[in-house]
Structure 1
Amino acid sequence: MGKGGQNDKQDEREVKSFTWDDIKVHDKRNDKWLVIGGEVYDITRWSRRHPGGSRVISHYAGQDATDAFRAFHNDLNFVKKYMKAIHIGTVKPEDQSEIELRSDFRELRKTAEKMNLFKTNVLFYTLHLAHILMFEVLAYLTMYYFGTGWLPFLVSVACYTIVQGQVGWLQHDFGHLSVFHNSSLDHLLHHFTIGFIKGASAKWWNHMHYQHHAKPNVMDKDPDVRVEKLFVVGDKMPVQMAKSNKSSMPFNWQHRYFFIVGPPLLFPVYFQFMLIRHVITRREWVDIGVLIAFFIKFFYLYVPLLGIGNTIFFYFFIRVLESHWFTWVSQSNHIPMEIDEDHAEEWLPLQLHATCDIEKSFFNDWFTGHLNFQIEHHLFPTMPRHNLHKIAPLVKSLCEKHNLSYQVKPLLQSFIDIVSSLKHSGELWYSTYNQYHVS
């Protein structure tokens, strides 16, 4: 007993206190600390084994990751078991005083939990999956019974495009563990929806999308704004690109060529290449197996009806339409917003600066997969989507209290703003380029 007491005292003496100046310098590739709930953790080695990927956790190196940690994890007690081994100290009290904004947001989360807003309506997701499967059956039966003339062909294309668009939103829910809040079950259904129904990779999606949520619209951290080879976005990236003179793209025309290389090609070309490269280079055997199963199913069903050539055309025609749907919806919430370098912002303003909402309606909810409530989804990514509208008034009230911008737009206006923001960024690049490189 005495011996144990001595060890306890020794452990207490070994707990160190760090200032934020001490912590901020540990943001290098081979030297990474972060703070969760006032405790300091050395994630240098652990980040390589992090289930969500090394990048998503590394984006918070040298910063406070408390609210991001809470947003991504359902079972805190389970995760904390792994954190004991990498705990190295605490933040000194004088540097850890709670600011009102952070405190109010954490109270808002507690309110959401008391309102049972993290509780799933299983019937909602059952019906949603059922309507996706119904359209997949209709897509096949239309040409099976009515032939492959232009009218049944187009009806089948429309049905299958709805399948791909809607299962894209559904897999998003399973990927965030927001349906069953059970890692094994959600991951299983994630593989089924994104893999077997959609023909994409769950691991690739997790790798990309979790980074986006951790640091939305943050240059060099959010993969969704690493588009400088074709586009410049925001106010900072155009200036940087113009000064560096690294690209010969006519960015001042990007709001026009966006219609050619953006929505039409994102899915059938870029995503197709990236996800296949990801699963092969990282040897994601489960994802590879599910992808093979998808293509076996697809060609088994449609080659007898259309032949090989027309089946391939059918596939890419759907991918192009799906790509339009996804691109306009996903970019409407982010591209017109602030895009900047990492300033280690608090969780609430970080998400608000990078996201906006679209007006609620039955069609908007269905068409966007409830991502018209993008602000609320980014603040609470594990909240079931059917509850996002319930927390929205409370989020708006909190924003008004702290004088934070909370934007809600009509759907059409959000699409127009994509083009307008691309035009603005392109013109900013052009004027800066002429200033630095044209005599």
Structure 2
Amino acid sequence: MGKGGRKVENGYDTTSVKSFSWDEIQKHNKKTDSWIVLNGKVYNVTNFMKKHPGGARVLSSYGGQDATDVWTAMHNDKDFVGKYLKPLYIGDVLDYNVTEVQKDFRELQKYVENNNLLRVKPMFYVAHLVSILLLEVAGYLILSRLGTSWLPYLAAVMCFVVSQAQAGWLQHDFGHLSVFNSRKLNHIAHHLIIGHIKGASSHWWNFRHFLHHAKPNIIKVDPDVEVANLFLLGETLPKLFGQKKRGFMPYNFQHIYFFLLTPLLLPTYFVYENLYFVVKRRDYWDLFFTLTFFYRMFATLTPILGVWGVIGLFVFERTIESHWFVWCTQMSHIPNEVDFDASKDWFKLQLDSTCNVAPSFFNDWFSGHLNYQIEHHLWPMMPRHNFKKIAPLVESLCKKHDIQYRCKPSLLSAFGDVVRSLEDSGEIWYNAYYEGLH
């Protein structure tokens, strides 16, 4: 009991607790009126959303839903974050129950925490960073010592490609707060890696990527599937666009022009979107780090290649890297279910929208361990060198509850499924648009 006869449980004043039914909670699912549920407690996050470090859209995507597992997965400082929740607490869920899948997954979550699978091996990331910097230095030395004829030029470009691609996987780790125990140190490192080494905005990446993780492959939430101006993914959107005669692309050929547009993502669209994002939001800190990347690139390479030569090298390198990035990131999502939000529990949502590729030294390195996409989505803050330890237990849990655990036998088979999926979606659109649904 607290002072004045107040009843306090776990720091919450429960003197006059209200109870809400799920029917009532689900009504509060708008940006202007949003409630979420965590461990059976109801929180009104309407006025807090704009202050949320992960962005307002992440919170609003769980309005009227149980966000317990996504909250657990996304926060490594739960005691600290919990202090912000207490003023938002408005009551409890009436007859709060969880499914057997949720119970088993939460037991698995305890296993992860108790067996230190969220603890990092520092030398793994030190070695990774050193290899990235050495490759960049090697590219510069090849050009400065061996000249700019076609063979050393190509060798240098490949050094830059590998360095940039691996830096992309490294910034991904820092962005997910999976390297340092301190949130602040992870953020600083993320600014340095994605800004100074990659030339992109940390806040822009967080804005897109956290939404993707909160609701992967969910239409109108996940920005990675909001590409209807160019591609229609899954089965639902192609049917809708076909029936309503929407869109202006020949989507029945999207599996072909995918090869033509893939190389343009990094050297054109992402450069534009990054600069637009930081300028529009007056994010001068991110703009500073982005400019240091371009300053370093021009300062070191202009004496060798000239200004236009540096621009040409940048576009050439990013074009090759774009292939690497797109195929590795999309092989685990495009071939899977893409649909509107059905309020699935965290475990089922991730398994329906993601898949793995068989592990090997090359596959792990080449994809930045994104071949363990299922485990990464279930525990975004888990250091990637620990995915192989938890993967068998995840697969076992799937078998117990008859949930499909997809694991492709090779990178090439996973890449092929991307093309086949695009072709199938295009055919669905074509039939709906021209012939009606069969």
Give me the TM-score of the superposition, normalised by structure 2.
Answer: 0.97
Q: Secondary structure at the match of 1:229?
A: coil
Residue equivalent to 2:81: 79
The whole-number CA distance in structure 1 between the counterparts of 2:2 and 2:163 is: 67
1:107-118 superposed matches below 5 A: 107-118=107-118
Q: Secondary structure at the match of 1:248?
A: coil
Residue equivalent to 2:131: 131
Is residue 2:394 matched to residue 1:395?
yes
**Cα deviation digits, residues 337-395 of structure 1 (max 9, x gap):** 00011000000010000000011110000000011000000000000000001100000
Residue equivalent to 1:229: 229
The whole-number CA distance in structure 2 between the counterparts of 1:6 and 1:269 is: 60
**Cα deviation digits, residues 115-167 of structure 1 (max 9, x gap):** 21111000000000000000010010100111111111111100000011000
Assess if the C-alpha contact under 8 Å between 2:7 and 2:15 holds in 1: no
Q: Secondary structure at the match of 2:65?
A: coil
State the 1:113 CA deviation: 1.6
Q: Secondary structure at the match of 1:333?
A: coil
Aligned residue type for 1:347: W
The whole-number CA distance in structure 2 between the counterparts of 1:290 and 1:392 is: 36
Aligned residue type for 1:332: M
State the 1:435 CA deviation: 3.2
Residue equivalent to 1:424: 424
Aligned residue type for 1:228: A
The whole-number CA distance in structure 1 between the counterparts of 2:2 and 2:253 is: 76
State the 1:2 CA deviation: 10
Residue equivalent to 2:281: 282
The whole-number CA distance in structure 1 between the counterparts of 2:322 and 2:50 is: 32
Aligned residue type for 2:131: H
Change (3 A) 1:18 1:321: same
Q: Secondary structure at the match of 1:142?
A: helix
State the 1:3 CA deviation: 6.7
**Cα deviation digits, residues 237-283 of structure 1 (max 9, x gap):** 1011112222121100101111111x211111211111111111111
Aligned residue type for 1:44: T
State the 1:114 CA deviation: 1.9
The whole-number CA distance in structure 1 between the counterparts of 2:68 and 2:377 is: 15
Residue equivalent to 1:379: 378
Is residue 2:185 matched to residue 1:185?
yes
Is residue 2:91 matched to residue 1:92?
no
The whole-number CA distance in structure 1 between the counterparts of 2:59 and 2:290 is: 28
Residue equivalent to 2:212: 212
**Cα deviation digits, residues 82-104 of structure 1 (max 9, x gap):** 001111111012xx122211000
State the 1:13 CA deviation: 4.5
Residue equivalent to 1:28: 30
Residue equivalent to 1:121: 121
After superposition, the CA RMSD in angstroms is 1.6
Aligned residue type for 2:291: I
Structure 1 unaligned residues grouped into runs of 5+:
none
Residue equivalent to 1:54: 56
Change (3 A) 1:142 1:8: closer
Give me the TM-score of the superposition, normalised by structure 1.
Answer: 0.97
Change (3 A) 1:3 1:350: closer
The whole-number CA distance in structure 2 between the counterparts of 1:326 and 1:2 is: 55
Residue equivalent to 1:174: 174
State the 1:14 CA deviation: 3.0
Residue equivalent to 1:346: 345
Aligned residue type for 1:175: G
Assess if the C-alpha contact under 8 Å between 2:238 and 2:425 holds in 1: yes
The whole-number CA distance in structure 2 between the counterparts of 1:15 and 1:419 is: 53
The whole-number CA distance in structure 1 between the counterparts of 2:13 and 2:384 is: 44
Identity across aligned pairs (percent)? 50
Assess if the C-alpha contact under 8 Å between 2:2 and 2:8 holds in 1: no
**Cα deviation digits, residues 397-429 of structure 1 (max 9, x gap):** 000000000011111100000000000000000
Structure 2 unaligned residues grouped into runs of 5+:
none
The whole-number CA distance in structure 2 between the counterparts of 1:249 and 1:347 is: 34
Change (3 A) 1:2 1:244: closer
Aligned length: 434
Change (3 A) 1:4 1:236: same
The whole-number CA distance in structure 1 between the counterparts of 2:160 and 2:388 is: 29
